[in-house]
Structure 1
Amino acid sequence: MKVIGFVGTGAITEAMVEGLLAEPAHSFNIHVSPRNAEIAATLSAKFDKVTVATDNQAVVDQSDIVVLAIRPQIAEDVIRRLRFREGQSIISVVATMERQNLLDWIQADTELVQAIPLPFVANRRGVTAIYPPNQEIAALFDALGTAVQCASRKEYDLLAAASAMMSTFFGIMEFTNDWLEKNGLDRTKGQAYIAPLFESLAQRANEKTVHSFHSLSKQFATRGGLNEQVLSDFETKGGHTILVSALDRVLARIEGRGGDI
């Protein structure tokens, strides 16, 4: 049985452990660092397969796959203190971190894969970009939803930029609900309508028969209809331009070219 170790016990570690060990549980034993004592204790109490290690080095020593789930601000200090085995599999979920920096800090010939797991992995509904391609690590994230293997760092960075759309997604829902309330609809009714509406649209987009989002957009925009009117306003009155500009600036930040807020 494979052993997965987590260096860092924050929200992403908690989500991944929940997804891996919720019933029906996958065949992994898990070691977590004691850094966040509350989360570590909670996971250990909830799942028999979770052990709280004495320290980060114990996590590395006892694991086949090590997940580096630490804040970027302390990543170098934490990683440099650890001794990794030659050939050990390492997954870094440290945000916006240069691959070469990680390799320099690890100081061992390891299998390093970078990943961007999202909180939805807790419910096995997360989509996770990984780089470089690695079948074993892809299988791990497929168990938590869906893995997308990136052939280049550019592909990986682009998907990282796309993930910055999450807050805007919910923001659009909130803006719509604000508008409904201002026009006389109770907020609870608006939310009860909007959330299932957007969920249904996402499910439709995820169907295997869908070849492009453009085709769906056209399908739902009846000529002369209300959907076409809103889409036209968005595209011609600045919405498209602002969105592209925002994504360009996010990508610039990810690639270290500026673009700071």
Structure 2
Amino acid sequence: MTNKITFIGAGNMATAIIGGLIDSGAAPTDLTATAPSSSELAPVKERLGINIHTDNNVAVSHADVVVLAVKPQIMRVVCEELRETIQQQRPLVISIAAGLDAATIDQWLGGNNALVRCMPNTPSLVGYGASGLFANSAVSDTQRDIATQLMNAVGIVEWVEEESLLDAVTAVSGSAPAYFFLMFEAMEEAAVTLGLPAETARRLAIQTALGAATMAQKSDKDPATLKQNVMSPGGTTERAIHHLEEAQLRTTIADAMEACAKRAQEMARELSSH
């Protein structure tokens, strides 16, 4: 990737993407990050060797790609301050802020911008992210490829053709790391009750999840078949799975994901109205 990329914001997600880009071959001199204070940016400069700036407009003035990596609550102020420069420069704009729809961000930036919304997740911080992307009608095929390369630096990318589907992405991957962390908690607590030390239970649960995910990723079989392959008739796994099914685990998960998606829709309405 030889494009000049400016990150507005230098938080954990922005620096994770920057690090992934550098590991993928991007030149640090092509990358810029901004923040309100030089002291906040100094560790980023030292660790990654990229350009830094406290003036967003100056940082954007020569950018091919602008990544909006600030909190949703301050996005409007940031966008309106950048409006004139964005209108002059016409970069590809990528927003990784949750809850703000493309039309609202585009309006704050002056309109008619090539804009991609990205819903990443926290495993992006360790290079195992899963990001859902949506492009507005002004985004070219080349710009879609750029956005794909950018987020591929920290994991996998899946495009959706309707922006509303990003709410489903939030439910299935954006918020989902917490679902698995809850599962680890519950398994550890149950294992301790069964007599295992907490640390032993935690390591076993996490490693098993990693192994199961790797098997699912590398196999050509669907999860239902993989599950069945572990279940011997009348055995321990079958007993556990039957108990989970009887306890309506599928319904619980479906209800939780629906609640997550509905909250994403509510947040979008709340943020866009401010």
Q: How many residues align?
A: 256
Q: For 2:95, which of 81, 92, 108 is the aligned residue?
A: 92
Q: For 2:184, which of 157, 173, 182 is the aligned residue?
A: 173
Q: Conserved in 1, the CA contact under 8 Å of 2:36 and 2:54? A: no
Q: Conserved in 2, the CA contact under 8 Å of 1:15 and 1:120? A: no
> Residue type of the partner of 2:223?
F
Residues 39 and 194 (structure 1 numbering): CA distance in 2 closer, same or farther, change over 3 Å?
A: farther
Q: Distance in 1 between matches of 2:59 and 2:170?
A: 28
Q: For 1:237, which of 247, 254, 257 is the aligned residue?
A: 247
Q: For 1:157, which of 147, 158, 167 is the aligned residue?
A: 167
Higher normalized contact order (CA 8 Å, seq sep 6+, divided by chain length): 2
> Residue type of the partner of 1:31?
T
Q: Conserved in 2, the CA contact under 8 Å of 1:96 and 1:254? A: yes
Partner of 1:219: 229
Structure 1 residues 233-242 or 100-109, which shifts more?
233-242
Partner of 1:206: 217
Q: How large is the RMSD of aligned CA atoms in angstroms?
A: 2.2
Q: Distance in 2 between matches of 1:221 and 1:168?
A: 24
Mapped pair 1:131 → 2:134: yes
Q: Distance in 2 between matches of 1:227 and 1:2?
A: 51
Partner of 1:51: 51
Deviations 1:103-154 (A, max 9, x none): 1101143210011223333443222111128222112222332211112223
Which stretches in structure 2 are left out of the alignment for 5+ residues?
A: 136-140, 269-274
Alignment of 1:52-67 (within 5 A): 52-67=52-67
Q: Distance in 1 between matches of 2:228 and 2:67?
A: 42
2:220 match: secondary structure: coil
Partner of 2:16: 15
Partner of 2:138: none
TM-score by length of 2: 0.85
Q: For 2:110, which of 107, 110, 114 is the aligned residue?
A: 107
Deviations 1:200-256 (A, max 9, x none): 00101111x424222222222223222222222222223222221111111111223
Identity %: 20
Partner of 1:31: 32
Structure 1 residues 141-150 or 59-68, which shifts more?
141-150
Q: Distance in 2 between matches of 1:39 and 1:19?
A: 20
Alignment of 1:117-128 (within 5 A): 117-128=120-131
Residues 192 and 54 (structure 1 numbering): CA distance in 2 closer, same or farther, change over 3 Å?
A: closer
Q: Distance in 2 between matches of 1:168 and 1:244?
A: 12
Deviations 1:20-68 (A, max 9, x none): 224x6434521111236454211101222x1111311122113111000
Q: Distance in 2 between matches of 1:252 and 1:32?
A: 33
Higher helix share: 2
Which stretches in structure 1 are left out of the alignment for 5+ residues?
A: none
Q: Conserved in 2, the CA contact under 8 Å of 1:19 and 1:122? A: no
> Residue type of the partner of 1:105?
W
